[in-house]
Structure 1
Amino acid sequence: MRPSPAEIVRTLVAGRLPGLVHVAHRPGPHHARHVTDPDGRVLLLVGVVSDLAAALRPVRGGSDVPAVLDVLDLPPAAGAPSLGRAWVSGWAAPLHGDEARAAALDFAAVEPTGDLLDVGTRFRLFRFEVVEARWERAGSVRRIDPGAYAEAEPDPLHAAEGGLLAHLADQHADRMVGYLRRQLGLADGGPDAAPRVVRLDRYGMLVAYGRPGARRRARLTFPRPLTEPADLTRLLRPALVPRAGAPPARWLGRDPSTTPGVKRGPFLTP
């Protein structure tokens, strides 16, 4: 298994990456602090005295304005491929009273900032339901069904991905290289550069290997989707900290798209 396009878009716009807001017929774009609530609706935390607040001010008696949130993935390590770019759009409206207080709790669950205490004075929350979603990758743009987007869940490893990769590289490099060589069928000490994990998600890991200048990528799948970063530690422990006399652990399954004679899948390939 691998993340669906809807899951990737939900992950990108969840609030862990910087976002830009484009408002129809207004100057921009505008940098914005944003998250998505459990239903996938976009929440914007906006200073009351800001260009974005002015752009989101309705005109001609309206109550909301068309807006687009634009988020570009930031790869967690050098040489790691990007997940691409996501755009989600809808009609942004300011929240007041109980709605604003409930939205502030949703915002804090993702990004606990003290500025939420000033919602209603120095800051205001805007919200829009996603009516259109698009995912761009490798020069191709794909439309995502809004219903599929709403039903998808952000990847639980994405926020911790950089730290997890750094930990594997810094603390378990030798054992991890040996384990990946066994999984990929690479000879120990062969001419290929040491394989390394370059991306992680709830379904598996992407590994880069091969000679310098001819690097290749293969995907290894987990036996079940992970629900939190700690799941990765529990799954990797048998491979990285083997018991005395225990055989090598093989809890990872190789993705069929990485086996000889089978076309590789499109996920995270150049």
Structure 2
Amino acid sequence: MQPTPAEVARTLAAGRIAASAYVANRPGPYRTRHVSDPLGRVLLLVSVVDDLALALRPVPGTDDTALVLDVRDLPPAAGAPPLGRAWISGWATALDGAEARQAALDYAEVDPTGDLLDVGSRFVLYRFEPAEVRLERESETIHIDPAEYGAAEPDPLHHLERELLADLADHHQSEITDFVLRQLGEPAGPHREGPPPRVVRLDRYGFVVLLGTPGSRYRARLAFPRPVHDHADLVQLLHPVLWPARHARPERGRLNQGGPTVP
């Protein structure tokens, strides 16, 4: 198992990665502060003195402005494959009153910035519902149905991914090496050529490992037996891998109570 294109796009647009906005009939691009609410709608937090605030002013006779949000993944480690680049199009509308207050609460769930206290004075919240969603990965462009995008969930580990990878490398490298080589049926021990396997990506469905020797590197994906719900669930699932002495010796291809396996 691995994330669907809709899940990847929702993860990228969740608000953990810096994005740019292109506004219709404006020069751009504009740097944005944004999150996605529980329905997948994009919330923009814009200073009233920012150039983006001027660009988002609707033309007379309308109350919204067409824009495209551009979010590009930043791989968390050397050799990690990028998730891709999401393009989300819609019409942004400035919020006020009860809508602005609810949007501020939704925004704070992802990014509890103190600037939300100044919404209505120094800052304005804009919201737009995606009308078109595209995901660029390598040489392909995937068009995602907006309803499918809205129903998808962002990955619960994405904002912790860099920290989790560093922890695995710093504190559990030998356990990860033994486990990965056992799963892939590769030889272990001091005579093995090349550097140890390195976990370079991690999501709710599994992780990606970089293996091989210089000049002959390849990646393998190991899947969890089920999607994880959060950080605590991940720790429980990986417990037999990271602390093998506390568990019975696993059979090849599986782990006691289900650790990662090669799909």
TM-score past 0.5 threshold: yes
Matched with 1:219 is: 221
Select which of 195, 198, 206 maps to 2:197.
195
Farther off after superposition, 192-201 or 10-19: 192-201
The answer for unaligned runs of 5 or more in structure 1 is: 256-270
C-alpha distance in 2 between matches for 1:244 and 1:128 = 50
The answer for unaligned runs of 5 or more in structure 2 is: none
Deviation, 1:207, is 0.9
3-state SS of 1:207 partner: strand
Equivalenced residues, count: 255
C-alpha distance in 1 between matches for 2:28 and 2:193 = 51
After superposing on structure 2, the runs of 4+ consecutive aligned residues of structure 1 that deviate more than 4 Å are: none
Matched with 2:208 is: 206
C-alpha distance in 1 between matches for 2:179 and 2:219 = 16
Q: Give, as a single letter, the amino acid of the residue that structure 2 aligns with 1:114.
A: G
- Residue 253 (str. 1) matches residue 261 (str. 2): yes
Alpha carbons 1:180, 1:196 under 8 Å: kept: no
- Residue 121 (str. 1) matches residue 92 (str. 2): no
3-state SS of 2:33 partner: strand
Identity within the alignment, %:
59
TM-score (norm 2): 0.94
- Residue 138 (str. 1) matches residue 130 (str. 2): no
- Residue 10 (str. 1) matches residue 10 (str. 2): yes
Deviation, 1:238, is 1.3
3-state SS of 2:6 partner: helix
Matched with 2:158 is: 158
Matched with 1:230 is: 232
Q: Give, as a single letter, the amino acid of the residue that structure 2 aligns with 1:195.
A: P
Alpha carbons 1:100, 1:125 under 8 Å: kept: yes
Matched with 2:46 is: 46
Alpha carbons 2:56, 2:65 under 8 Å: kept: yes
Alpha carbons 2:240, 2:246 under 8 Å: kept: no
Q: Give, as a single letter, the amino acid of the residue that structure 2 aligns with 1:105.
A: L
- Over 3 Å counting, the alpha-carbon distance change for 1:244 and 1:84 in structure 2 is closer
C-alpha distance in 2 between matches for 1:92 and 1:178 = 51
Matched with 1:23 is: 23
Name the Cα RMSD after superposition. 1.2
C-alpha distance in 1 between matches for 2:147 and 2:38 = 14
